[in-house]
Protein backbone atom coordinates (compact mmCIF):
# COMPACT_ATOMS: atom_id res chain seq x y z
CA UNK A 1 0.00 0.00 0.00
CA UNK A 2 1.40 3.38 -1.04
CA UNK A 3 1.25 6.30 1.38
CA UNK A 4 2.53 9.86 1.66
CA UNK A 5 4.16 11.06 4.88
CA UNK A 6 2.49 14.34 5.82
CA UNK A 7 4.31 15.37 8.97
CA UNK A 8 6.76 14.39 11.68
CA UNK A 9 5.44 14.04 15.23
CA UNK A 10 7.33 14.90 18.42
CA UNK A 11 8.73 11.34 18.56
CA UNK A 12 10.38 11.83 15.15
CA UNK A 13 7.89 9.43 13.54
CA UNK A 14 6.46 10.10 10.11
CA UNK A 15 2.65 10.33 10.08
CA UNK A 16 0.37 9.47 7.15
CA UNK A 17 -3.08 10.90 6.34
CA UNK A 18 -4.82 8.11 8.25
CA UNK A 19 -2.64 8.67 11.33
CA UNK A 20 -0.31 5.71 10.81
CA UNK A 21 3.04 6.37 12.49
CA UNK A 22 6.11 5.29 10.55
CA UNK A 23 9.45 5.53 12.40
CA UNK A 24 12.28 7.07 10.35
CA UNK A 25 10.05 8.16 7.47
CA UNK A 26 10.14 11.87 6.56
CA UNK A 27 7.53 14.44 5.47
CA UNK A 28 6.92 14.46 1.70
CA UNK A 29 8.19 10.91 1.20
CA UNK A 30 6.15 8.43 -0.80
CA UNK A 31 6.41 4.97 0.73
CA UNK A 32 4.96 1.49 0.49
CA UNK A 33 3.78 0.17 3.82
CA UNK A 34 3.39 -3.50 4.75
CA UNK A 35 0.94 -4.97 7.25
CA UNK A 36 3.85 -5.23 9.73
CA UNK A 37 4.38 -1.46 9.39
CA UNK A 38 7.64 -2.02 7.51
CA UNK A 39 8.18 0.57 4.81
CA UNK A 40 10.14 1.05 1.61
CA UNK A 41 10.85 4.45 0.16
CA UNK A 42 9.43 5.08 -3.31
CA UNK A 43 10.30 8.78 -3.41
CA UNK A 44 12.78 10.05 -0.77
CA UNK A 45 12.75 13.47 0.88
CA UNK A 46 15.35 15.98 -0.27
CA UNK A 47 16.31 16.25 3.40
CA UNK A 48 17.16 12.55 3.78
CA UNK A 49 20.86 11.78 4.30
CA UNK A 50 23.00 8.75 5.10
CA UNK A 51 23.26 8.32 8.91
CA UNK A 52 26.74 8.98 10.32
CA UNK A 53 26.66 5.90 12.58
CA UNK A 54 27.01 2.38 11.23
CA UNK A 55 24.84 1.08 14.11
CA UNK A 56 21.91 3.38 13.32
CA UNK A 57 19.86 0.93 11.24
CA UNK A 58 19.55 -1.61 14.04
CA UNK A 59 20.18 0.48 17.18
CA UNK A 60 17.34 2.04 19.15
CA UNK A 61 19.54 4.67 20.79
CA UNK A 62 18.87 7.34 18.15
CA UNK A 63 15.73 8.18 16.21
CA UNK A 64 16.69 10.92 13.76
CA UNK A 65 20.16 10.59 12.23
CA UNK A 66 18.73 10.20 8.71
CA UNK A 67 17.97 13.87 8.05
CA UNK A 68 19.87 17.14 7.58
CA UNK A 69 20.83 19.34 10.52
CA UNK A 70 18.76 22.24 9.15
CA UNK A 71 15.66 20.01 9.14
CA UNK A 72 16.33 18.85 12.72
CA UNK A 73 16.67 22.43 13.95
CA UNK A 74 13.39 23.51 12.35
CA UNK A 75 11.57 20.39 13.57
CA UNK A 76 12.77 20.87 17.17
CA UNK A 77 11.75 24.54 17.11
CA UNK A 78 8.28 23.60 15.90
CA UNK A 79 7.92 20.95 18.63
CA UNK A 80 8.71 23.55 21.29
CA UNK A 81 6.37 26.14 19.74
CA UNK A 82 3.56 23.59 19.55
CA UNK A 83 3.93 22.58 23.21
CA UNK A 84 3.93 26.19 24.39
CA UNK A 85 1.10 27.22 22.08
CA UNK A 86 -1.10 24.40 23.43
CA UNK A 87 -0.89 26.19 26.78
CA UNK A 88 -1.46 29.66 25.38
CA UNK A 89 2.19 30.72 25.56
CA UNK A 90 3.71 32.66 22.68
CA UNK A 91 7.41 33.54 22.71
CA UNK A 92 10.49 33.88 20.54
CA UNK A 93 12.44 30.64 20.09
CA UNK A 94 16.15 31.21 19.70
CA UNK A 95 17.97 29.26 16.97
CA UNK A 96 18.45 25.59 17.84
CA UNK A 97 22.04 24.42 18.26
CA UNK A 98 22.87 20.77 17.62
CA UNK A 99 25.72 18.68 19.02
CA UNK A 100 28.75 17.53 17.09
CA UNK A 101 29.52 13.84 16.61
CA UNK A 102 31.60 12.15 19.34
CA UNK A 103 30.61 14.85 21.84
CA UNK A 104 28.22 13.00 24.15
CA UNK A 105 29.98 12.71 27.53
CA UNK A 106 27.43 10.53 29.32
CA UNK A 107 25.74 7.35 28.18
CA UNK A 108 23.93 4.35 29.66
CA UNK A 109 24.90 1.05 28.11
CA UNK A 110 23.66 -2.42 28.96
CA UNK A 111 25.65 -5.61 29.29
CA UNK A 112 24.49 -9.19 28.79
CA UNK A 113 26.35 -12.47 29.29
CA UNK A 114 25.51 -15.77 27.61
CA UNK A 115 27.24 -19.13 27.73
CA UNK A 116 29.47 -18.24 24.77
CA UNK A 117 29.62 -14.46 24.52
CA UNK A 118 29.26 -11.02 26.06
CA UNK A 119 27.31 -8.15 24.48
CA UNK A 120 27.54 -4.49 25.51
CA UNK A 121 25.56 -1.77 23.78
CA UNK A 122 22.03 -0.49 23.22
CA UNK A 123 18.71 -2.23 22.66
CA UNK A 124 17.07 -2.42 19.27
CA UNK A 125 14.19 0.00 19.02
CA UNK A 126 11.09 -1.23 20.87
CA UNK A 127 12.69 -4.62 21.66
CA UNK A 128 14.63 -6.37 24.42
CA UNK A 129 17.31 -7.46 21.95
CA UNK A 130 20.71 -6.05 22.89
CA UNK A 131 23.20 -5.22 20.13
CA UNK A 132 26.89 -4.38 20.41
CA UNK A 133 27.71 -0.72 19.60
CA UNK A 134 31.50 -0.37 19.97
CA UNK A 135 31.80 2.39 17.38
CA UNK A 136 28.85 4.64 18.22
CA UNK A 137 29.51 7.97 16.51
CA UNK A 138 27.75 10.05 19.14
CA UNK A 139 29.71 9.29 22.29
CA UNK A 140 33.02 10.69 23.46
CA UNK A 141 36.06 8.73 22.20
CA UNK A 142 37.19 8.23 25.81
CA UNK A 143 34.06 6.14 26.39
CA UNK A 144 34.59 4.13 23.22
CA UNK A 145 38.20 3.44 24.17
CA UNK A 146 36.98 1.65 27.31
CA UNK A 147 34.52 -0.64 25.52
CA UNK A 148 36.60 -3.73 26.26
CA UNK A 149 36.51 -2.74 29.95
CA UNK A 150 32.70 -2.70 29.87
CA UNK A 151 32.74 -6.16 28.32
CA UNK A 152 35.05 -7.45 31.05
CA UNK A 153 32.84 -5.88 33.73
CA UNK A 154 29.83 -7.65 32.17
CA UNK A 155 31.71 -10.95 32.11
CA UNK A 156 32.64 -10.64 35.79
CA UNK A 157 29.55 -8.92 37.14
CA UNK A 158 26.50 -10.08 35.18
CA UNK A 159 24.56 -13.33 35.41
CA UNK A 160 22.98 -15.18 32.49
CA UNK A 161 19.54 -14.28 33.84
CA UNK A 162 20.05 -10.54 34.17
CA UNK A 163 21.24 -7.56 32.14
CA UNK A 164 23.46 -5.04 33.89
CA UNK A 165 23.26 -1.28 33.40
CA UNK A 166 26.52 0.56 32.80
CA UNK A 167 26.26 4.35 33.13
CA UNK A 168 29.39 6.19 32.03
CA UNK A 169 30.27 9.88 32.42
CA UNK A 170 33.44 11.56 31.19
CA UNK A 171 34.76 13.76 34.01
CA UNK A 172 37.83 15.97 34.22
CA UNK A 173 39.61 13.20 36.18
CA UNK A 174 38.54 10.24 34.05
CA UNK A 175 35.54 7.97 33.58
CA UNK A 176 32.86 7.79 36.26
CA UNK A 177 31.16 4.38 36.15
CA UNK A 178 27.90 3.47 37.84
CA UNK A 179 26.89 -0.20 37.57
CA UNK A 180 23.37 -1.35 38.45
CA UNK A 181 21.79 -4.80 38.54
CA UNK A 182 25.19 -6.45 38.90
CA UNK A 183 25.58 -9.61 40.94
CA UNK A 184 27.09 -9.54 44.42
CA UNK A 185 30.84 -9.55 43.92
CA UNK A 186 33.30 -11.79 45.67
CA UNK A 187 36.59 -10.22 46.80
CA UNK A 188 38.48 -11.76 43.90
CA UNK A 189 36.09 -10.22 41.36
CA UNK A 190 36.32 -6.84 43.10
CA UNK A 191 40.11 -6.97 42.84
CA UNK A 192 39.95 -7.89 39.14
CA UNK A 193 37.49 -5.12 38.30
CA UNK A 194 39.38 -2.42 40.20
CA UNK A 195 42.66 -3.52 38.57
CA UNK A 196 41.04 -3.29 35.14
CA UNK A 197 39.65 0.17 35.94
CA UNK A 198 43.13 1.46 36.77
CA UNK A 199 44.22 0.59 33.22
CA UNK A 200 41.35 2.53 31.63
CA UNK A 201 41.54 5.96 33.29
CA UNK A 202 38.55 5.35 35.57
CA UNK A 203 38.12 7.93 38.32
CA UNK A 204 35.33 6.18 40.24
CA UNK A 205 33.24 3.03 40.01
CA UNK A 206 30.05 2.44 41.95
CA UNK A 207 28.42 -1.01 42.12
CA UNK A 208 24.74 -1.41 42.96
CA UNK A 209 24.86 2.02 44.70
CA UNK A 210 27.92 1.09 46.79
CA UNK A 211 31.30 2.68 46.15
CA UNK A 212 33.66 0.07 44.74
CA UNK A 213 36.70 2.28 44.11
CA UNK A 214 37.49 6.01 44.08
CA UNK A 215 40.84 6.63 42.39
CA UNK A 216 40.23 10.36 41.81
CA UNK A 217 37.25 12.63 42.39
CA UNK A 218 35.31 12.70 39.09
CA UNK A 219 34.91 16.46 38.83
CA UNK A 220 32.69 18.36 36.40
CA UNK A 221 32.87 22.11 35.84
CA UNK A 222 30.01 24.59 35.49
CA UNK A 223 31.48 27.79 34.06
CA UNK A 224 34.80 26.96 35.70
CA UNK A 225 33.32 25.93 39.07
CA UNK A 226 34.37 22.39 39.97
CA UNK A 227 31.90 19.95 41.50
CA UNK A 228 31.98 16.23 42.23
CA UNK A 229 28.48 14.98 41.41
CA UNK A 230 27.05 11.85 43.02
CA UNK A 231 27.04 8.66 40.93
CA UNK A 232 24.75 8.84 37.89
CA UNK A 233 23.71 12.42 38.60
CA UNK A 234 21.86 14.15 35.78
CA UNK A 235 24.14 16.22 33.56
CA UNK A 236 23.62 17.72 30.13
CA UNK A 237 24.65 15.22 27.48
CA UNK A 238 27.44 17.42 26.11
CA UNK A 239 29.69 19.95 27.82
CA UNK A 240 29.16 22.44 24.99
CA UNK A 241 25.39 22.20 25.36
CA UNK A 242 25.72 22.66 29.12
CA UNK A 243 27.76 25.84 28.77
CA UNK A 244 25.36 27.34 26.20
CA UNK A 245 22.40 26.66 28.51
CA UNK A 246 24.23 28.21 31.46
CA UNK A 247 25.12 31.29 29.43
CA UNK A 248 21.50 31.85 28.39
CA UNK A 249 20.14 31.15 31.88
CA UNK A 250 22.56 33.67 33.40
CA UNK A 251 21.32 36.36 31.01
CA UNK A 252 17.85 35.89 32.49
CA UNK A 253 18.99 36.44 36.10
CA UNK A 254 21.85 38.86 35.48
CA UNK A 255 20.39 41.71 37.54
CA UNK A 256 18.79 39.60 40.27
CA UNK A 257 19.91 39.82 43.89
CA UNK A 258 18.17 36.54 44.78
CA UNK A 259 17.60 33.50 42.57
CA UNK A 260 15.60 30.33 43.18
CA UNK A 261 16.71 27.26 41.22
CA UNK A 262 13.92 24.68 41.01
CA UNK A 263 14.90 21.08 40.24
CA UNK A 264 18.48 22.24 40.70
CA UNK A 265 20.11 18.85 40.27
CA UNK A 266 23.77 19.12 41.18
CA UNK A 267 23.99 22.84 40.49
CA UNK A 268 24.33 23.40 36.74
CA UNK A 269 22.69 26.82 37.13
CA UNK A 270 22.92 27.27 40.92
CA UNK A 271 26.69 27.65 41.10
CA UNK A 272 27.19 29.99 38.10
CA UNK A 273 24.28 32.15 39.34
CA UNK A 274 26.02 32.43 42.73
CA UNK A 275 28.78 34.47 41.10
CA UNK A 276 26.36 37.44 41.22
CA UNK A 277 23.33 36.44 43.30
CA UNK A 278 22.27 34.64 46.44
CA UNK A 279 20.70 31.33 45.40
CA UNK A 280 18.23 28.90 46.91
CA UNK A 281 18.61 25.46 45.29
CA UNK A 282 15.68 23.06 45.60
CA UNK A 283 15.74 19.43 44.56
CA UNK A 284 14.37 16.12 45.81
CA UNK A 285 17.74 14.34 45.80
CA UNK A 286 19.78 15.12 48.90
CA UNK A 287 23.06 13.75 47.48
CA UNK A 288 22.97 16.31 44.66
CA UNK A 289 22.27 19.13 47.09
CA UNK A 290 25.21 17.97 49.20
CA UNK A 291 27.43 18.15 46.12
CA UNK A 292 26.30 21.75 45.54
CA UNK A 293 27.06 22.70 49.14
CA UNK A 294 30.52 21.16 49.00
CA UNK A 295 31.38 22.90 45.72
CA UNK A 296 30.14 26.21 47.13
CA UNK A 297 32.31 25.86 50.24
CA UNK A 298 35.36 25.02 48.14
CA UNK A 299 34.92 27.89 45.65
CA UNK A 300 35.89 31.39 46.69
CA UNK A 301 34.02 34.50 45.61
CA UNK A 302 30.50 33.06 45.42
CA UNK A 303 27.43 34.63 47.01
CA UNK A 304 25.46 32.67 49.60
CA UNK A 305 23.96 29.37 48.42
CA UNK A 306 21.38 27.51 50.50
CA UNK A 307 19.66 24.28 49.59
CA UNK A 308 16.42 22.52 50.44
CA UNK A 309 15.29 18.97 49.78
CA UNK A 310 11.74 19.03 48.50
CA UNK A 311 9.64 17.01 46.05
CA UNK A 312 8.37 19.83 43.86
CA UNK A 313 5.78 17.62 42.16
CA UNK A 314 4.12 16.88 45.50
CA UNK A 315 4.96 20.20 47.16
CA UNK A 316 5.14 23.02 44.57
CA UNK A 317 6.57 26.36 45.61
CA UNK A 318 3.86 28.73 46.72
CA UNK A 319 3.19 32.11 45.12
CA UNK A 320 4.14 33.96 48.29
CA UNK A 321 7.62 32.43 48.41
CA UNK A 322 8.20 32.91 44.69
CA UNK A 323 7.35 36.60 45.01
CA UNK A 324 10.39 37.07 47.26
CA UNK A 325 12.71 36.29 44.36
pTM summary value: 0.90
pLDDT digits (tens, 9 = 90+) for 305-317: 999 999 999 999 9
The sign of the CA dihedral 302, 304, 310, 313 is negative
Do the beta carbons of residue 150 and residue 166 sit within 8 Å?
yes
* Residues near 195 by beta carbon (within 8 Å), at least 6 away in sequence: none
- 206 and 234 within one domain: no
- 230 and 210 within one domain: no
- Tell me whether residue 262 is in a domain: yes
- Tell me whether residue 247 is in a domain: yes
- Total domains in the chain come to 3
Q: What is the mean pLDDT of residues 235-239?
A: 96
| pLDDT for 34 beyond 90 | no
CATH number at residue 55: 2.40.50.140
| Whole-angstrom distance, CA of residue 241 vs CA of residue 224 | 15
- 264 and 206 within one domain: no
End-to-end, the C-alpha distance of the chain in Å comes to: 59
- Tell me whether residue 94 is in a domain: no
Nearest alpha-carbon partner for 134 in 125, 126, 164, 143? 143
- 24 and 57 within one domain: yes
Share the mean pLDDT of the chain: 94
- Tell me whether residue 92 is in a domain: no
Query: Which residue segment(s) compose the domain that 208 sits in?
Result: 106-214
Strand 202-207 with 210-214, pairing? antiparallel
- 110 and 210 within one domain: yes
pLDDT digits (tens, 9 = 90+) for 161-185: 899 999 999 999 999 999 999 999 9
- Cα distances (Å, whole numbers) of residue 228 to 121, 139, 258, 286: 27, 21, 25, 14
For 270-304, give the DSSP string. HHHHTTTSEEEEEES-HHHHHHHHHHHHHSTTPPP
Amino acid sequence: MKSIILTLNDRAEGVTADGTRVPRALPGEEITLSKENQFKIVLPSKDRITPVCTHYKSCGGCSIQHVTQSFIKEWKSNVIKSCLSARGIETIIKPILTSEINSRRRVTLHGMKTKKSVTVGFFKKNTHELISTPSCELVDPEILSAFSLFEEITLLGATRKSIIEISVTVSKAGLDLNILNGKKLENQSIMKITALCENFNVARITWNEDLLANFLNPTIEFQGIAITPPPNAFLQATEEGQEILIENAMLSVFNSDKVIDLFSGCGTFTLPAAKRSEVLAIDKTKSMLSAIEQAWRETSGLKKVTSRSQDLFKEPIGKEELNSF
